[in-house]
């Protein structure tokens, strides 16, 4: 359970938990190790490795296009396992993908192979709490923490249930919408949700994701009492702009170094 331990330690030490998200892409395999080393150097606590899916309904245009590109380039489950072996040597790694690719490989078998490749967490954005029981069992058997997502619009009671059932951390979606950025008026005050989660599961870190792109957005997320942030779309955009490890390191350091209030 390397993911749990790394996050809990960072939290206990009062450090900001910073989790970058990288989409697995065959074309980028040769650069992967250098990128992840740069992210660790910049202060990343753990890594989310995205496996592309053909129908990513929780993703905005940037990550949707990245998934389409990765799939057109022939990226497969084997590439994910290979990437996992590389990244988990550097940072505790969780896989983020949609329900169908995991189901297609069989819940138990997928969890076991991912665990065998060094993965210690699984995040499935279209898996609801109501459907999650067999997934939690399979994840546990494979040595993975199944991370659940909470979102605006959920009652305190619902967020509490999610926090109690989540492992590794609770992923709190920052606004009404898909990954990328919030439309006008779609942000809500996350503090009550963070509070509800912390009350229900005092030792579980709460990470805010969606729309974290710089120090200001990270600071706003941390001001709710959250323990850290997940950075996806903005990192993908950064890599498209300038994929050099030194540039990525400089850029990510500003986000990861955002202090907790």
Partner 1 sequence: MPERYGPYGGAFVPETLVPALAELERVWKEARRDPAFRRELSRLSTTLGGRPTPLYFASRLTRRAGGAEIWLKREDLVHGGAHKFNNALGQGLLAQRMGKPRLIAETGAGQHGVATAMIGAALGLRTEVYMGEVDIDRQKPNVDRMRLLGARVIPVKSGTRTLKDAINAALRDWIANVRTTHYLIGSAVGPHPFPSIVTDFQSVIGRELRRQAVRAFGRLPDLAVACVGGGSNALGTFHPLRKTSVELLGVEAGGPAGSTGAGSLSYGRPGILHGALSYVLQDADGQVSETESISAGLDYPGVGPEHAWFRDSGRVRYTAVHDQDALRAFHWLAVDEGILPALESSHALFAAVTEARRRPKEQHIVVTLSGRGDKDLGVVLGATR
Shortest Å, Cβ 100 to partner 1: 4
Longest Cα–Cα distance in the chain = 45
Q: Which of residues 116-145 bind partner 1 (CB under 8 A)?
A: 125-131
Q: Which of residues 22-51 bind partner 1 (CB under 8 A)?
A: none
Our finding on whether 183 is near partner 1 (CB under 8 A) is yes
Write down the catalytic residue from 4, 13, 25, 48. 48
Which residue among 65, 133, 141, 216 contacts partner 1 (CB under 8 A)?
A: 65
Segment interacting with partner 1, rule: CB under 8 A, options 41-49, 111-119, 153-161, 232-240: 153-161
Is 59 a residue of the active site? yes
Task: Return left, alpha or beta for 168; rule: phi > 0 is left, psi -120 to 50 is alpha, else beta.
Answer: left
- Cα–Cα distance for residue pair 22/133, rounded to 1 Å: 27
Our finding on whether 158 is near partner 1 (CB under 8 A) is yes
Rounded to the nearest 10 degrees, the angle between the axes of helix 77-87 and helix 107-116 is 40
Our finding on whether 104 is near partner 1 (CB under 8 A) is yes
Which residue among 73, 116, 153, 192 contacts partner 1 (CB under 8 A)?
A: 153
Is 214 a residue of the active site? no
**DSSP conformation class of 91:** S
- Cα–Cα distance for residue pair 68/84, rounded to 1 Å: 20
Our finding on whether 55 is near partner 1 (CB under 8 A) is yes
Cα distances from 28 to residues 38, 66, 84, 151, 257, in angstroms, run 15, 12, 13, 32, 26
Write down the catalytic residue from 25, 59, 79, 236. 59
Q: Do 221 and 18 meet the contact criterion of CB atoms below 8 Å apart? A: no
What is the residue whose two structure tokens read 């606004």? 175
What is the residue whose two structure tokens read 């592309």? 52
- Cα–Cα distance for residue pair 78/105, rounded to 1 Å: 11
Which residue among 154, 211, 228, 232 contacts partner 1 (CB under 8 A)?
A: 154
Binding mask 205-244 for partner 1 (x = CB under 8 A): ----------------------------------------
Residue 47 phi, psi dihedral angles, 5° rounding: -130, 140
> Using CB under 8 A as the criterion, which residues of the chain lie in contact with partner 1 when the complex forms?
53-58, 60-61, 64-65, 68, 71, 76-77, 98-105, 125-131, 148-155, 158, 162, 173, 176-178, 183, 186
Residue numbers annotated as active site: 48, 59
């Amino acid at each position: 359970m390397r993911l749990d331990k790394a996050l809990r330690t960072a939290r206990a030490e009062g450090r900001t938990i910073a989790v970058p998200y990288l989409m697995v892409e065959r074309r980028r395999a040769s650069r992967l190790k250098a990128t992840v080393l740069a992210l660790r150097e910049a202060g990343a606590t753990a890594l989310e490795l995205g496996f592309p899916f053909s129908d990513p309904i929780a993703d905005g245009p940037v990550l949707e296009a990245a998934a389409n590109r990765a799939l057109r380039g022939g990226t497969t489950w084997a590439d994910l396992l290979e990437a996992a072996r590389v990244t988990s040597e550097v940072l505790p790694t969780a896989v983020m993908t949609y329900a169908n690719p995991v189901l297609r490989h069989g819940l138990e078998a997928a969890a076991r192979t991912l665990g065998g490749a060094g993965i210690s967490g699984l995040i499935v954005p279209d898996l609801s709490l109501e459907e999650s029981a067999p997934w939690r069992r399979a994840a546990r058997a494979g040595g993975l923490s199944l991370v659940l997502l909470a979102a605006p619009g959920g009652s305190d009671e619902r967020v509490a249930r999610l926090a109690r059932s989540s492992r590794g951390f609770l992923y709190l979606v920052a606004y009404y919408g898909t990954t990328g950025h919030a439309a006008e008026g779609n942000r809500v005050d996350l503090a009550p949700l963070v509070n509800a989660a912390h009350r229900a599961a005092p030792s579980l870190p709460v990470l805010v994701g969606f729309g974290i792109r710089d120090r200001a957005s990270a600071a706003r997320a941390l001001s709710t009492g959250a323990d850290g942030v997940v950075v996806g779309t903005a990192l993908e955009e950064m890599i498209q702009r300038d994929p050099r490890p030194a540039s990525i390191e400089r850029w990510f350091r500003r986000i990861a170094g955002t202090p907790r209030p």
